[in-house]
Structure 1
């Protein structure tokens, strides 16, 4: 007999929510994971086409870096705030569906760009669409799984990050050489485009199917049109969210900045690993892209699921701060292996050390989403998650790749010193991550326990 899952991570039903079956809950995770894969492929694919974009649109490295960073990361992060409020009020599967449709259409519009400005606007649109997914996914999953199963559920969703990135990296091994050609090709209805622009149609179209599938997810929250006092659970004003964050500043600050430091190292490795392999060990572009893609797509999911299972195992043993412990363990593994692989003498040994690097890099991310979900009251999870992602994405997306580049250009002043920049940034970044998460553990335990006590009081009062 199938037992419905409780709709809150406290294992207690909450007013204004429906119980969902395990099948419905895991179906939601599957669709959200697929959406995450689609979003990350659309996000990363431009990074593989730098050379033909520069040639055909007559732009510089700096121009292209703005397409990768400013146009996407800033708008993706800032739009998360109003979208988070919308998530806390609205029908979340429909929000995901709309976002998937927007980022897919804007990805395909990138394939029609005739100028740098057109390309920049299209990238803003991709970021705006993808800004809907994170807050909505965290909120939906947290309401469909009890706390002791939340780690694996969040980790499964986060598999999409590594699968999507792996697919994008692997595409670089096979696609770039085939589309890096001068001239134009004719596309029916669209007209003449550059060969590299065809890639954006190929990766954008599947997202429209994802948008349709998102509409089939069950919304566990009862969304009402009226504003009666007893129907306001899902409508936390932004001012109330800010008061809650100030009252729990150490908890949310440690989570946001701790995981941001961890993500910064990951972004730096992702951005510069191929260049390191080419410059230091003589890999070709195809070899570097294939290695990075295979490792990310296979070991990333393994690492994130391992982290989720470990989080749930520790939670079942009564460790309230299980998610932070897993984040610290991942940081310790990265401190060792990501600090070491750039310094070894051979490409074979570096590639071998990248196996644990990929596992430990992925390990914290299901735990991180579980942590922010546990630290926020259910009715403000969308906004809380958006603020958390604002900090993590802005710091990691801008700082991660740039810190490595600045060390190489301004400190070591030698392109071949990229290996030392990668090693140093990993050691410093992960030391900060471990320290911040350790500092936040007592406050996190107090916050979660207080929310559990309040949930128990509300449940008792409703009886």
Structure 2
């Protein structure tokens, strides 16, 4: 039986969600704003498209993914609030640094640092939220945090144009120590200063007590690997299945503005208004609805509720991708709202699903592995896949709509099949977690042995009737 009194109060828990949500929004604005500054950055720094693409995608994605794994180890053994605090501070300094760079390699280094800093946030946030809410409320809480993706992207679209207009109106400025600063550089300085100020709000987060199997035990890396191997079918179907969905999401999202400009003759400002609004509203509603549905199914006894919701969302997303083949704008905007809504449903439950099958002391590390896989496959390859189809298969810039549909259909279809194949292994993985626990009734010397020897199957330590009820 679950002791609900062991969790923070509802008010305290939801305050934590809101603060972490703001941090997530800030991270996506810092991440996406460069996409709106391509023209002035290229002009002032004399860069090629390939150099710009490295700044926007690959350099950020690779180091975001690689830094996440060692940081995940820190999540499981050190203060999670402290890690987030220093992570936000670091990436904000790197963002501000983008505003004072003079040459390309400096810019590239600052974007690498931004990615590494942002890698601290989600693994620590997932772990904090998992310890702040009981299982039947966990998917909803993590899904609310997941709204940060859609709010952040929407704000980058909606506010980006306004910020650029404001900065351009000020023109070049001269700052002490840094000299002449261009308008686009001023934007990075403003965002960096905002992030540094936001760090103070993070102090309002209270570190929750770690709960569940393995709480408070430093597990050797070899035992983390051994545990993952023991539930490898569930982990592989989860990570690869959601990676396919993220692949489709990043690929479609990167080229949707271009689709509206090329195929529907819209201006970038119009695209920002419509697409930004839909991202914020439909995306936020979709990710929270997915979490709510997963929690509802969990209360009705479905042990694979998070995976089921993801499967449902993936199938509907694949069907709704037909929106890119429609010319009637009224139908397009209605169906686009539905498309973004259902595509967002798996976003929150993906992270929640990881928390449900891993011991507490492994959650940060396995969340980091999950983010490593989906970031490299999704952000690293998704946008390029659409471009390759357009350039080398269709050989026509106006065929971007067909490239989007092919990528969306194949990727979401593959993701749905992988998640479907993982339903049974996922339920078995939850049972495996219930059958594993660190020894809680040994003396301190034995506890130190546990920390170096890893997990012991509880049936080998004490009779079943002596186990505390859950």
The two structures share one fold, judged by TM-score above 0.5: yes
| Alignment deviations for residues 35-66 of structure 1 (CA, whole Å, 9 cap, x no partner) | 10111111111111111111110110000111
Q: Which of 242, 257, 271 matches 1:259?
A: 242
CA shift, 1:217, in A, is 1.3
Pairwise mapping of residues 264-413 of structure 1 onto structure 2 (< 5 A)? Answer: 264-338=247-321, 340-413=322-395
Q: Secondary structure at the match of 2:180?
A: strand
| Alignment deviations for residues 314-346 of structure 1 (CA, whole Å, 9 cap, x no partner) | 0000001100111011111210112x1110123
CA contact under 8 A between 1:327 and 1:437: conserved in structure 2?
yes
CA contact under 8 A between 2:88 and 2:199: conserved in structure 1?
yes
Does residue 243 (structure 1) correspond to residue 234 (structure 2)? The answer is: no
CA shift, 1:18, in A, is 6.0
Please give the alpha-carbon distance, in whole angstroms, between the structure 2 residues aligned to 1:104 and 1:366.
25
Does residue 452 (structure 1) correspond to residue 431 (structure 2)? The answer is: no
Please give the alpha-carbon distance, in whole angstroms, between the structure 1 residues aligned to 2:164 and 2:171.
15
Give the equivalent residue in structure 2 for 1:152.
140
Count residues with an aligned counterpart: 444
Please give the alpha-carbon distance, in whole angstroms, between the structure 2 residues aligned to 1:78 and 1:93.
21
CA contact under 8 A between 1:33 and 1:156: conserved in structure 2?
yes
CA contact under 8 A between 1:342 and 1:422: conserved in structure 2?
yes
| Alignment deviations for residues 180-233 of structure 1 (CA, whole Å, 9 cap, x no partner) | 69973224554311111111122222222332222221112379xxxxxxx983
Q: Structure 1 pair 344/46, CA: closer, same or farther in 2 (3 Å)?
A: same
Pairwise mapping of residues 177-192 of structure 1 onto structure 2 (< 5 A)? Answer: 184-188=172-176, 190-192=178-180
Q: Which of 96, 107, 114 matches 1:126?
A: 114
CA shift, 1:70, in A, is 2.0
CA contact under 8 A between 2:77 and 2:216: conserved in structure 1?
no
Please give the alpha-carbon distance, in whole angstroms, between the structure 1 residues aligned to 2:397 and 2:160.
22
CA contact under 8 A between 1:31 and 1:210: conserved in structure 2?
no
Give the equivalent residue in structure 1 for 2:68.
80
Q: Secondary structure at the match of 1:235?
A: coil
Please give the alpha-carbon distance, in whole angstroms, between the structure 2 residues aligned to 1:160 and 1:174.
20
CA contact under 8 A between 1:154 and 1:367: conserved in structure 2?
yes
| Alignment deviations for residues 281-322 of structure 1 (CA, whole Å, 9 cap, x no partner) | 000011111211111111111111110110000000000110
CA shift, 1:149, in A, is 0.5
Give the equivalent residue in structure 2 for 1:434.
416
Q: Secondary structure at the match of 2:206?
A: coil
In structure 2, list runs of 5 or more residues that go unmatched.
439-457
CA shift, 1:30, in A, is 1.3
Please give the alpha-carbon distance, in whole angstroms, between the structure 1 residues aligned to 2:118 and 2:229.
28
| Alignment deviations for residues 126-170 of structure 1 (CA, whole Å, 9 cap, x no partner) | 111100001101111111111110111011111111111110111
Give the equivalent residue in structure 2 for 1:11.
2
Please give the alpha-carbon distance, in whole angstroms, between the structure 1 residues aligned to 2:246 and 2:12.
31
Q: Which of 163, 186, 206 matches 2:194?
A: 206
CA contact under 8 A between 1:277 and 1:347: conserved in structure 2?
no
Q: Structure 1 pair 220/192, CA: closer, same or farther in 2 (3 Å)?
A: same
CA shift, 1:461, in A, is 3.9
CA contact under 8 A between 2:7 and 2:131: conserved in structure 1?
no
Q: Structure 1 pair 320/455, CA: closer, same or farther in 2 (3 Å)?
A: farther
